[in-house]
């Protein structure tokens, strides 16, 4: 019988040296829950100082407490990445607290499932503003202080649907995140000569509360998870901890020569669904 696991038995962070990011400051947007929380906790476990930002303060406190329980320092800021003035304030407070921002992880984003003809103009603009413009707001401002210091790493979290297959039923988010991939590559070209690396990470479907609440429930499909797993050769959803470990890798010395990449980490979801056509024994 095939298993449809959503967890893994190993610790993805066991690969990395303890205190790999000691005395480094990592800023994670959307850092209060889900993938962002896992990323923040991963860096905290490896010795980093954390700045976590989210629109809702109630999402930040439990994660900030968990980070401090690991012995790491943490600044949590409720703000909107869509508002340039609030981004300016976030960057200023981060530098005032820790002196620098060494790593930026643009994880904040959001969308809602809808058929193209059901998306209003305001709904389209809200999703594009959050996912594309919000990411630019952080890249441009944090990137500026990294360029001045000639060091830093930026990872933009997108989705496997940012590429050729399209993003049904998230046409607005898919378009915005495809823009983030292009922006990532353009920034990498300019920033590399100044010692700053910029990459994108494209997870596939990951088992998080957001996936269940924001996508499964709104899609009104009790079998949504099973249908997604059908399209994943690994035959399971990814975990937030796996995404976090891959993010850590892209910011680590092991990835020093990786720049302008859009790394897909999706259990093979990008390849399309498995069919009996690929199995000689099925005929």
pLDDT 10s digits, 219-235: 555 566 777 777 777 77
**Between the CA of residue 125 and those of 55, 128, 154, 160, what are the distances in Å?**
18, 5, 25, 21
Please check whether residue 140 lies inside any domain of the structure: yes
Strand partners, 104: 27, 154
Please check whether residue 274 lies inside any domain of the structure: no
Indicate which residue of 161, 191, 224, 270 is catalytic.
Answer: 161
Q: CB neighbours of 269 closer than 8 A, spacing ≥ 6? A: 160, 204, 205, 231, 232, 233, 234
Please check whether residue 2 lies inside any domain of the structure: no
Please check whether residue 11 lies inside any domain of the structure: no
The C-alpha atoms of residue 133 and residue 270 are separated, in whole angstroms, by 26
Helices 134-149, 84-98: inter-axial angle, 10-degree rounding: 40
Question: Interior CA angle at 29 toward 28 and 30, to 5°?
Answer: 115
Residue 10: its pLDDT value, please? 80
Walk across the sheet containing 152-157 and list its strands: 74-78, 49-54, 25-29, 103-106, 152-157, 196-203, 262-265
Strand partners, 152: 196
Please check whether residue 283 lies inside any domain of the structure: no
Total domains in the chain come to 1
Catalytic residue flag (residue 161): yes
Please check whether residue 86 lies inside any domain of the structure: yes
Instruction: Give the range among 4-13, 145-154, 237-246, 251-260 with minimum mean pLDDT.
Output: 4-13
For residues 237 and 28, which has the higher predicted lDDT (pLDDT)? Answer: 28
For the chain, where are the alpha helices, taking DSSP H only? Answer: 34-45, 57-69, 84-98, 121-128, 134-149, 171-191, 209-210, 217-219, 224-230, 240-251
For residues 276 and 114, which has the higher predicted lDDT (pLDDT)? Answer: 114
- Find the CATH number of the domain harbouring 209: 3.40.50.720
Please check whether residue 66 lies inside any domain of the structure: yes
Q: Show the domain range for 65.
A: 19-269
Average pLDDT, the chain: 88
Strand partners, 146: none
Instruction: Give the range among 22-26, 80-84, 149-153, 220-224 with minimum mean pLDDT.
Output: 220-224
User: Across residues 110-135, what is the average pLDDT?
Assistant: 91
Cα-trace Rg, the chain: 19
Residue 66: its pLDDT value, please? 98
Give the pLDDT confidence of 64-117 residue by residue, as tens digits.
Answer: 999 999 999 999 999 999 999 999 999 999 999 999 999 999 999 887 788 889
Give yes or no for a contact between 100 and 149, defined as CB atoms under 8 angstroms apart.
yes
Please check whether residue 45 lies inside any domain of the structure: yes
User: Across residues 177-193, what is the average pLDDT?
Assistant: 97
Instruction: Give the confidence band of 214 by pLDDT, cuts at 50, 70, 90.
Output: low
**Between the CA of residue 174 and those of 40, 95, 159, 274, 275, what are the distances in Å?**
25, 33, 8, 23, 26
């Amino acid at each position: 019988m095939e298993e449809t696991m959503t967890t893994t038995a190993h610790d993805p962070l066991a690969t990395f040296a303890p205190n790999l990011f000691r005395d480094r400051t990592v800023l994670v947007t959307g850092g209060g829950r889900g993938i962002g929380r896992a990323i923040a906790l991963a860096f905290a476990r490896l010795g980093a100082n954390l700045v976590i930002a989210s629109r809702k303060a109630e999402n930040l406190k439990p994660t900030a407490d968990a980070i401090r329980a690991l012995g790491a320092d943490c600044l949590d800021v409720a703000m909107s990445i869509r508002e340039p003035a609030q981004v300016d304030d976030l960057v200023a407070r981060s530098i005032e607290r820790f002196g620098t921002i060494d790593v930026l992880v643009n994880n904040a984003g959001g969308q809602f499932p809808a058929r193209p003809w059901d998306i209003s103009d305001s709904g389209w603009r809200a999703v594009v503003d959050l996912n594309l413009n919000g990411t630019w707001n952080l890249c441009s401002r944090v990137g500026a202080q990294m360029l001045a210091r000639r060091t830093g790493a930026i990872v933009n979290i997108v989705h496997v649907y940012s590429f050729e297959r399209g993003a049904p039923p998230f046409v607005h988010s898919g378009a915005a995140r495809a823009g983030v991939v292009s922006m990532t590559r353009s920034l990498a070209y300019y920033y590399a000569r100044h010692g700053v690396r910029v990459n994108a990470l494209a997870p596939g479907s990951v088992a998080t509360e957001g996936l269940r609440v924001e996508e499964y429930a709104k899609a009104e499909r009790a079998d949504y998870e099973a249908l997604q797993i059908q399209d994943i050769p690994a035959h399971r959803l990814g975990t937030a901890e796996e995404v976090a470990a891959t993010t850590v890798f892209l910011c680590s010395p092991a990835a020093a020569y990786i720049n302008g990449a859009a790394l897909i980490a999706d259990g093979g979801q990008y390849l399309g669904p498995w069919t009996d056509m690929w199995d000689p024994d099925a005929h």
